[in-house]
């Protein structure tokens, strides 16, 4: 129960950080996505099942509080949790650089899903501009923050293993 | 063993189905939510209530950090900002100076324009002073108008205040103007006061460069301090009636037959920047006759007064006629004049003759 509470607390704190403190460092309205880093780290460390689960919880939290299209973040995070969890089977899970490197394709995946959904919802969006001017600054912020997030997730994972 | 494997397989299939169900549900939820057919207000509020305190705390931290960052940035840029502000102040001062200069020029040109409107008998060409040569022995300025602008030698140069001098050498696009103060200059002048109208010549005084002298004034002539001096029009260079200055001192010549007046020029030659050249002059049209000023409270209409005067004269004439007729009747009654004699004119001569 305590472990679940710590995971929940971590998720909420990361989301709160993402939507408050990190918005001071934004590029064209885009700032780092800590929930995405959390999902990628969890998916790499604990596989696709946990990836999907954390994707669902984090996505629901974001969808409920952000006021964006409900389910969009949930679907995207679940998919990313599933995909990166599946990939983790063939990789050495304890490698620290893994989530740092994985943060860029994860963000690309997230952008692609969001653009696809917006396209399906018939919403006009300048996808080219988004990829050229908004993706790379956000990706840099993701890379910078990926390691600290991964380190916290690793510590909590170790703690959870000990108190299972 | 086989049963266990089958059970695991069945559990996996259930999980996959559940997963697919969740994915499809979420996928559909996006479209329903986008069309406002799906809402979770209670859950929304709960989630927001959970996240909000953390957001508030981080937001406060963020704003504090932003404040610190701004302060540090401000301090680090203070020196540079100070330097930029100094440069800006320099620039603004320069601009202010230029603006003041333009304002001053504007005022001068307005005054000159006002004079041009008043002096309708003159065709004026405005010019700016672009050079100045001033020594005890000469006072010459250079203006930015020349023959291309219609300027020629010996044309009078004025300002709205009065006479400046005359063009001594007209170039193509600039001209030299000999000032009134130049010792070589001589201007035919008059005392403006109607009772005086004494003529004289104003010429530059080498001993007193800022105050020319009005010479050739007979000793017994009526020239007083504060008399205004205007051009007389004699000589043909300067048109008549341009203000030269006023008499500030009157002295007797050493020889004893003549006297001279020291003139304070109406033009301030130290601040001469814009002038006008009289390129043509003609007789000023007579001003319309104005009724004389009347004492306040006793004003009368001059036309009405003239009509009343005419009526009164007519009444006097009628009365005189009546008197004459009465006298004639009396004479007739006395037998001096026949009754049927033709009507005579009882002028004073005829009347005397009649009495005789």
Q: What is the dihedral of CA A148, A150, A156, A158, to 10 degrees?
A: -120
> DSSP letter string over B109-149?
HHHHHHHHHH-TTEEEEEEEEEEEEEETTEEEEEES--GGG
What is the distance of C-alpha B266 from the center of its chain?
A: 19
**pLDDT tens for residues A65-88?**
776 778 888 999 999 999 988 877
**pLDDT tens for residues B307-326?**
888 888 888 888 888 888 88
Cβ–Cβ gap A117/B30 under 8 Å: yes
Average per-residue pLDDT in chain B?
A: 80
d(CA B326, CA B343): 13
Report the candidate in A75, A88, A83, A141 with the shortest Cα–Cα distance to residue A114: A75
d(CA A46, CA A155): 13
**pLDDT tens for residues A29-39?**
677 889 999 99
Per-residue pLDDT, averaged over B26-32, amounts to: 82
Cβ–Cβ gap A21/B51 under 8 Å: no
Q: Give the pLDDT band (50/70/90) at residue B284.
A: low
CATH classification at residue A31: 1.10.1760
Per-residue pLDDT, averaged over A101-111, amounts to: 89
Residues of B in contact with A61 (CB under 8 A): 47, 51
Per-residue pLDDT, averaged over B266-275, amounts to: 85
Report the candidate in A81, A41, A87 with the shortest Cα–Cα distance to residue B23: A81
Residues of A in contact with B27 (CB under 8 A): 71, 75
Q: Give the pLDDT band (50/70/90) at residue B352.
A: very low
CA angle A145, A150, A153 (to 5 degrees): 130
**Which of A10-14, B233-237, B276-280 is the least confident region?**
B233-237
Domain containing residue B238: 119-280
d(CA A116, CA A109): 10
**pLDDT tens for residues B166-210?**
998 888 888 889 998 888 888 999 898 888 888 999 988 877 878
Q: What is the pLDDT of residue B292?
A: 67
Report the candidate in A47, A41, A33, A150 with the shortest Cα–Cα distance to residue A89: A47
Q: What is the pLDDT of residue B351?
A: 44
B308 domain residue, yes or no: no
Domain containing residue A18: 2-162
Residues 6 or more apart whose Cβ sits within 8 Å of residue A90: none
Instruction: Name the domain count of chain A.
Output: 1
Q: Would you mind telling me the total number of residues written for chain A in this entry?
A: 164
**pLDDT tens for residues B103-121?**
888 887 888 777 777 777 7
Q: What is the pLDDT of residue B229?
A: 93
Q: For residues B189 and B199, is the Cβ–Cβ distance under 8 A? A: yes
Q: Please give the ipTM for the structure prediction.
A: 0.75
Report the candidate in A141, A56, A40 with the shortest Cα–Cα distance to residue A97: A40
**Which of B68-77, B88-97, B222-231 is the least confident region?**
B68-77
Cβ–Cβ gap B58/A71 under 8 Å: no
Cβ–Cβ gap A64/B48 under 8 Å: yes
d(CA B231, CA B7): 131
CATH classification at residue B267: 2.40.10.340
Q: What is the pLDDT of residue A33?
A: 87
Give the mutation candidate from B20, B58, B64 for the A interface (greatest A CB count, under 10 A): B58
B193 domain residue, yes or no: yes
Cβ–Cβ gap A52/B57 under 8 Å: no
Q: State which residue of chain A sits closest to B53, comparing Cα positions.
A: A16
B332 domain residue, yes or no: no
- Chain A closest-CA separation from residue B56 CA (Å): 8
Instruction: Name the domain count of chain B.
Output: 1
B276 domain residue, yes or no: yes
> How many other C-beta atoms are found inside a 10 Å radius of the C-beta of residue B263?
26
pTM over 0.90? The answer is no
Q: State which residue of chain B sits closest to A123, comparing Cα positions.
A: B34
Of A23, A60, A65, Cβ closest to residue B48: A65
d(CA B222, CA B298): 35
């Amino acid at each position: 129960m305590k472990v679940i509470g710590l995971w929940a607390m971590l998720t909420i704190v990361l989301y709160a950080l993402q939507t408050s403190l990190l918005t001071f460092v934004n590029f064209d309205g885009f700032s780092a996505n800590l929930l995405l880093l959390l999902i990628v780290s969890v998916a790499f460390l604990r596989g696709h099942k946990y990836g999907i689960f954390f994707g669902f919880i984090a996505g629901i939290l974001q969808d409920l509080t952000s006021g964006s299209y409900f389910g969009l973040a949930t679907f995207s995070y679940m998919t990313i949790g599933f995909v990166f969890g599946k990939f983790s089977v063939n990789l050495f899970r304890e490698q620290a650089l893994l989530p740092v490197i994985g943060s860029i394709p994860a963000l690309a995946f997230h952008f692609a899903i969001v653009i696809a959904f917006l396209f399906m919802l018939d919403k006009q969006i300048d996808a080219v501009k988004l990829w050229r001017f908004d993706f790379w600054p956000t990706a840099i912020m993701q890379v910078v923050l990926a390691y600290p997030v991964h380190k916290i997730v690793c510590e909590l994972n170790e703690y959870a293993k000990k108190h299972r | 063993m086989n049963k266990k494997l089958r059970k695991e397989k069945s559990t996996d299939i259930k999980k996959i189905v559940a997963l697919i169900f969740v994915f499809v549900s979420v996928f559909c939820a996006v479209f329903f939510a986008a069309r406002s057919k799906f809402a979770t207000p209670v859950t929304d509020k709960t989630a927001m209530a959970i996240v909000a305190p953390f957001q508030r705390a981080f937001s406060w931290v963020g704003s504090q950090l932003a404040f610190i960052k701004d302060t540090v940035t401000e301090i680090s840029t203070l020196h540079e900002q100070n330097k930029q502000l100094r440069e800006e102040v320099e620039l603004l001062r320069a601009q202010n100076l230029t603006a003041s200069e333009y304002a001053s020029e504007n005022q001068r040109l307005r005054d000159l324009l006002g004079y041009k409107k008043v002096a309708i008998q003159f065709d004026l060409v405005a010019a700016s002073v672009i050079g100045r040569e001033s020594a005890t022995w000469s006072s010459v300025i250079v203006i930015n108008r020349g023959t291309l602008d219609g300027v020629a030698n010996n044309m009078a140069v004025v300002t709205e205040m009065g006479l400046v001098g005359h063009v001594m050498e007209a170039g193509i696009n600039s001209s030299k103007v000999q000032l009134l103060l130049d010792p070589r200059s001589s201007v035919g002048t008059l005392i403006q006061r109607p009772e005086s109208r004494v003529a004289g010549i104003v010429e530059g005084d080498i001993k007193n460069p800022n105050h020319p002298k009005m010479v050739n004034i007979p000793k017994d002539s009526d020239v007083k301090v504060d008399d205004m001096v205007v051009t007389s029009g004699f000589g043909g260079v300067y048109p008549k009636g341009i203000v030269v200055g006023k008499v500030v001192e009157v002295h007797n010549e050493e020889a004893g037959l003549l006297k001279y007046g020291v003139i304070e020029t109406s033009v301030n030659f130290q601040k001469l920047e814009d002038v006008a050249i009289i390129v043509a002059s003609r007789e000023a049209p007579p001003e319309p006759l104005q009724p004389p000023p009347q004492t306040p409270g006793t004003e009368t209409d001059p036309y009405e007064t003239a009509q009343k005067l005419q009526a009164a004269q007519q009444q006097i004439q009628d009365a005189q006629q009546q008197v004459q007729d009465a006298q004639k009747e009396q004479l007739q009654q006395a037998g001096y004049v026949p009754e049927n004699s033709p009507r005579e004119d009882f002028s004073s001569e005829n009347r005397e003759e009649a009495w005789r």
